[in-house]
């Protein structure tokens, strides 16, 4: 059954009544938001997802990131995302953002630092995907991840950043003015400067275009944190704003020219 307008309000009613079905509804809404199916196919309708609890939005963010890895999954195999999001929504959002950053740079566990909050999750998620990306093998959860450096900042992401990241990438030019204004308000609410972990999470929020200048504001926000965020050339097919972020670091002398 596809999601429909008003489902968020129905979910709140179940929660207020203490109905045990709310857990199943949370999973259903998270999956719909992750793949923008049902009423979430309409960018205007996605604003309704902002009222969902942070664990539900965190679950949706992680599901979307896992799907983008291209690793196969059968029904039920990604249910752990819900448990992770419920236990640690900040860690789940950090892991989703890290996966998106790794995909954008196509480095996969060889160059990008793992978010500190997600460190306890890497054996459950990152090691299996590393094996899949490398074509199988005997790597187990007891193996250390190669060449992963520890992040210097260990502060959890602030609520303002969590909210922005949980809502996913910026909308495109076809989004409504209300949706764009809402994301601008979220962005403006983030205190400057950002931490290294927050900067890495925000990298995953660039959309398909400049979103009427909002992408530029996001880029400058990211650059208030420790630079460089991307240390590997994302390549010609990467998101335009990932390439800009990398090129600006190179031009500023933060990354050696190759």
pLDDT of residue 210 exceeding 90: yes
187-201 average pLDDT score: 92
Report percent pLDDT > 70 for the chain.
72
pLDDT of residue 203: 93
Mean pLDDT rounded to a whole number for the chain: 75
- pLDDT grade for 74, boundaries at 50, 70 and 90: low
More confident residue, 37 or 158: 158
pLDDT of residue 237 exceeding 70: yes
Q: Which two tokens stand for residue 3?
A: 């999601």
Per-residue pLDDT tens digits for 27-71: 878 888 888 887 778 777 777 677 778 888 888 888 888 877 766
Among 22-31, 95-104, 194-203, the range with the most confident prediction by mean pLDDT is 194-203
Residues 6+ apart with CB under 8 A from 208: 169, 172, 239
- pLDDT grade for 170, boundaries at 50, 70 and 90: very high
pLDDT of residue 111: 40
226-242 average pLDDT score: 89
pLDDT of residue 29: 83
Among 66-75, 99-108, 142-151, 162-171, the range with the most confident prediction by mean pLDDT is 162-171
pLDDT of residue 218: 95
Domain segments of the chain as ranges: 53-251
- pLDDT grade for 155, boundaries at 50, 70 and 90: low
Taking 3-state DSSP, the helix, strand and coil percentages for the chain, each rounded to the nearest 5, stand at 55, 0, 45
pLDDT of residue 240 exceeding 70: yes
pTM attached to this predicted model: 0.52
Per-residue pLDDT tens digits for 117-152: 444 444 344 444 443 444 444 333 333 333 333 333
């Amino acid at each position: 059954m596809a999601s429909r307008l008003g489902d968020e309000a129905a979910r709140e009613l179940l929660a207020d009544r203490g109905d045990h079905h709310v857990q199943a509804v949370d999973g259903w809404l998270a999956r719909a938001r992750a793949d923008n199916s049902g009423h979430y196919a309409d960018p205007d309708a996605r604003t309704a997802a902002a009222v969902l609890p942070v664990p539900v939005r965190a679950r949706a963010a992680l599901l979307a990131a896992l799907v983008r890895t291209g690793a196969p999954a059968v029904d039920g195999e990604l249910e752990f995302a819900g448990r992770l999001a419920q236990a640690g929504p900040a860690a789940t959002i950090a892991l989703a953002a890290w996966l998106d950053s790794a995909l954008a740079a196509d480095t996969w566990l060889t160059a990008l630092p793992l978010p500190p909050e997600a460190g306890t999750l890497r054996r459950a998620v990152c090691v299996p995907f590393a094996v899949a990306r490398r074509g199988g093998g005997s790597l187990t959860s007891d193996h250390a991840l190669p060449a992963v450096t520890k992040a210097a900042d260990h502060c959890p992401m602030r609520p303002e950043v969590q909210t922005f990241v949980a809502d996913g990438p910026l909308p495109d030019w076809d989004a409504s003015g209300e949706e764009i204004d809402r994301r601008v308000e979220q962005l403006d609410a983030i205190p400057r400067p950002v931490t290294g972990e927050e900067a890495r999470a925000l990298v995953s929020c660039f959309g398909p275009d400049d979103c009427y200048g909002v992408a530029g504001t996001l880029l400058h926000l990211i650059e208030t944190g420790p630079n460089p965020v991307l240390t590997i050339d994302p390549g010609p097919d990467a998101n335009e704003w990932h390439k800009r972020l990398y090129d600006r670091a190179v031009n500023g002398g933060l990354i050696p020219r190759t």
